[in-house]
Amino acid sequence: MCGIVGYIGERECTPILIEGLRRLEYRGYDSAGIAVLESAAGESSLLTRVVRCRGKLANLEALLTEARPTGRVGMGHTRWATHGRPSDENAHPHKHGSVSVVHNGIIENYLALRAELAGRGHRFSSETDTEIVAHLIDEELKAQPQVGLREATRRALGKVQGAYAIVVLSDRTPDVLVTAKNASPLVLGLGEGENFVASDVPAILPHTKRVMFLEEGEIAELRRDGIQVIDLAGRPVRREPRLIEWSAVMAEKAGFKHFMLKEIHEQGRAVTDTLRGRVSIEQADALLDGIELDPQTLKKLTLIACGTSYHAGLVGKFLIEQIARVPVEVDLASEYRYRDPIIGPGDTLLAISQSGETADTLAAVKEAKAKGAQVLCIANVVDSSIPRACHHALYTHAGPEIGVASTKAFTTQLAALVLIAIHLGRRSGTLSSNAAAELIREFMALPQKMADIIGLAPQIQVIARRYGHARDFLFLGRGTQYPIALEGALKLKEISYIHAEGYAAGEMKHGPIALIDAEMPVVVVVPKGPGYEKVMSNLTEVKAREGKIIAVATRGDQDIGAIADEVILIPEAPAPLAPLLTVVPLQLLAYHIADFKGTDIDQPRNLAKSVTVE
Ligand code: M6R
C-alpha cells in the first residue's frame, strides 16, 4: 500500500530516494518523508535527519529545497494511511531514540503493544502502528547495543503480529540498513558498492536490474558491500539474485499488462488485510474499529453509494437482513439526496465509497447528518472527504486502486459488510457462536479460493475471445447473486463498451426475455445454494430461445453442463460469502473481452476514477 525505498552506498542519497519515491507515485499519496544519516556540523558521528510532511511528494520536495539532508545512507516513504489520518506527525519515517522506521502494512497487535510500551514509560508522537516498531527496536538496541541493529530488529519483530515491510536505520549503527518482510512486498537491489531496498521494483530499476525478493519472515542486513539474509529464528538464508527484465512501465504494474488485472490478482491479499485484526474464531465475533452497532436500538440501516459501491450495498442488504435480521434500505446516493429522505435522530446511515470523494455520496452523507442521523462509512481512502464527514469509518485496506474499473475495492467492501453482518448478528442473537465461528473460518479461507479462481484466467480468456464480438450481454442472478449480475454487467460495459444489462433472474420473463436469441450471450451466476433450482429453470427458458449460456457455477455441479454452453466452475463457499468469489470470474471475463477488443482498460473513455462532480 505504501511506497518504500532505501539506499546505502557512496552516492548522495537524497536524490536517489526522491527519484525512487516519484516512481512509486502511482500508488497514491497522502504524505511522504525521508530519513538520512548525516554528519552534524562539527561532529564526527552521524545523526539521522528526518524530513516529512503531509500531502504529495511535491510538498516534501518543496521542504527539501530549504534544507536538504546530505548523507549516503537513507530511506524514504510515501504513505497510504491505515492507522491515523494523513498528517505531518503520522507521516513516515518514525523516529524514536536512535531508531527510524518506515513501514508498509498493518501491525495487528499494535494497541496491545502500545499499552505495554506506555506502561514502561514510552510516550508517542503519532497515531500510527509504525511508531510502535521504532520504540520496540530502540528498546532492544538500548538494552544490548552490542547485538547490532539486525538482531535488535529480529527480537522486536518477535513481538509483532501482522503484515509488514519495514526498513530501519539507526545512528548507533551507521553502516547498515535493516529490512524485514512479512506479507507485504519487498525487493532488494544489488549494485556495485551500493545496495537498495524498495517496496516495488520501479523505485530501484534505474540503478540495478539485479534483485532478490525477500520471503515471509525474512530479515536482511544491507551494507555497502553486501547483503545478508536471515529468518526470524536467526538462521542464515541463501538467496540467489535474479535479473529483472521489466521496463519501467511494466514494473509499475508488477509485470501485469494493466492495473486492473494487477488489482484483480491482489484481491486475496486485500481481503486478508480487511479482515486482519477484526475477526476472531475463538471469540466468534467481528470487531469494527470501535464502531459499536446495537441491533436493539438500530431500527433500520440505510445504505447509500454509487456504481460498484452501490452493488456492494445491495449485497450488504441481503447479508445484514439474513444474518442479523436488521432491516436495511439501499439507495443510490444520487437519488437519495433529492428525495427529502425520511431520516433523523436515532437513525443510522452507512455510506460506501472506495475513493471517499464521490460528490453524490458525500452530499447524501451531509444531508443525513444535518437531519441528525448517525452517519458511518465503509471507505478505502483514509481521511478522504466522506470519512471526514462521517462519525465513524470502517476502512477496507484494499490499497490504492488505480484502474478506473473497481475490483479489489468491491470485494473488500463486501468483506467489510460481512464483518458488519457478523457483528450485528452476534449482538442480536440471530447468529450463534458456533455459526459465527464457522463463518469466520470460511471467511479466512476465501483468499485462497480467490487465488484458485484467478487460476481459471486461461479458460475465461478463451470464452472472452469466443463471445467478445457480441453487441449485447445479459447477466442474471438471484438473491445475493443479483447484485453480482449487476456488477458483472457494469464491469463489461465500462471497459469493453459492449452494452450489458444485469437482471434478477426471476425478472427475465417480465421483459428482457424478448431480447434473447442465438446472438445473445447470457451470463448466469448460479452457485449451489438458495435459489439454485429457480435459476436453473430460468436457464431452460433461455435455452428454449437459443440463447448462449455462460454459467458461473459451483465445482461438483452435475447438472449445469447439460444446459450451459460454457461453464466456469469455482470453489464452494457459504451463501453469505459466495459473492466474493462469483464476482471474480465476471471481472476476468470483462477484462479479457476488453483486452481482446483493445480498449483502454485502465482509463476507459468518458470515465474518471473519482467522480467529484454531480
Ligand atoms: O469511489 P466510489 O466507490 O464512491 O465510486 C463510486 C463509483 O463511481 C464507482 O464505483 C464506479 O462505478 C466504478 N467505475 C465502477 O467500476
Instruction: Show the 3-state SS of 129-144.
Output: CHHHHHHHHHHHHHHC
355 lines ligand 1 (CB under 6 A): yes
Amino acid identity at 593: I
14 phi, psi to nearest 5 deg:
-55, -45
Q: pLDDT over 90 for what percent of the chain?
A: 81
pLDDT of residue 491: 98
Residue closest by Cα to atom 7 of ligand 1: 307
- Is residue 181 within 8 A of residue 164, CB to CB? The reply is yes
Cα of 611 vs centre of ligand 1, distance in Å, is 8
Can you tell me the mean pLDDT for 458-484? Answer: 97
pLDDT of residue 614: 65
Tell me if residue 142 is catalytic. no
Task: Please report the domains of the chain, with CATH numbers, ordered by start residue.
Answer: 3-252 (3.60.20.10), 261-443 (3.40.50.10490), 455-597 (3.40.50.10490)
- Whether the pLDDT of residue 317 is over 80: the answer is yes
Quick: pLDDT tens for 489-510: 999 999 999 999 999 999 988 9
pLDDT of residue 1: 66
- Whether the pLDDT of residue 166 is over 80: the answer is yes
d(CA 294, CA 470): 49
Structure-block grid coordinates of residue 348: 443510522
d(CA 166, CA 218): 11
Burial class for 47, CB neighbours closer than 10 Å (0-12, 13-18, 19+)? middle
Least confident of 22-31, 197-206, 473-482: 22-31
pLDDT of residue 487: 98
611 lines ligand 1 (CB under 6 A): yes
Cα of 310 vs centre of ligand 1, distance in Å, is 8
Tell me the helices (H) and strands (E) count for the chain, helix number first.
19, 27
Structure-block grid coordinates of residue 303: 445504505
d(CA 71, CA 89): 23
pLDDT of residue 460: 98
d(CA 606, CA 340): 30
603 lines ligand 1 (CB under 6 A): no
- Whether the pLDDT of residue 565 is over 80: the answer is yes
DSSP 8-state code for residue 183: B
- Whether the pLDDT of residue 28 is over 80: the answer is no
302 lines ligand 1 (CB under 6 A): no
pLDDT of residue 43: 67
Residue closest by Cα to atom 4 of ligand 1: 353
Quick: pLDDT tens for 345-382: 999 999 999 999 898 999 999 999 999 999 999 999 88
307 lines ligand 1 (CB under 6 A): yes
Tell me if residue 2 is catalytic. yes
Q: pLDDT over 70 for what percent of the chain?
A: 99
CA 54 remoteness from chain centre: 21
**DSSP assignment of 50-89, as one string?**
EEEEES-HHHHHHHHHHS----SEEEEEEE--SSS-SSTT
Which of 209, 534, 543, 609 is labelled catalytic?
609
pLDDT of residue 549: 97
pLDDT of residue 399: 87
Structure-block grid coordinates of residue 58: 511535491
- Whether the pLDDT of residue 224 is over 70: the answer is yes
**DSSP assignment of 528-581, as one string?**
SSTTHHHHHHHHHHHHHTTPEEEEEEETT-SSHHHH-SEEEEE----TTTHHHH
215 vs 442, residue with greater confidence:
442
**pTM here?**
0.83
Quick: pLDDT tens for 50-107: 999 999 899 999 999 988 999 999 999 999 888 888 899 999 999 999 999 999 988 9
Highest mean pLDDT among 17-26, 216-225, 510-519: 216-225
- Whether the pLDDT of residue 245 is over 80: the answer is no
Highest mean pLDDT among 75-89, 247-261, 563-577: 563-577
- Whether the pLDDT of residue 250 is over 80: the answer is no
pLDDT of residue 384: 82
Distances (CA, A) of 416 to 288, 349, 398: 9, 15, 11
Which of 2, 13, 306, 377 is labelled catalytic?
2
Quick: pLDDT tens for 255-297: 899 999 999 999 999 999 999 989 999 999 999 988 878 888 8
Cα of 306 vs centre of ligand 1, distance in Å, is 6
412 lines ligand 1 (CB under 6 A): no
* Total Cβ atoms within 10 A of residue 240: 5
Residue 568, strand partner residues: 552
Cα of 361 vs centre of ligand 1, distance in Å, is 10
From the list 85, 379, 132, 425, the residue with the least C-alpha distance to 279 is 425
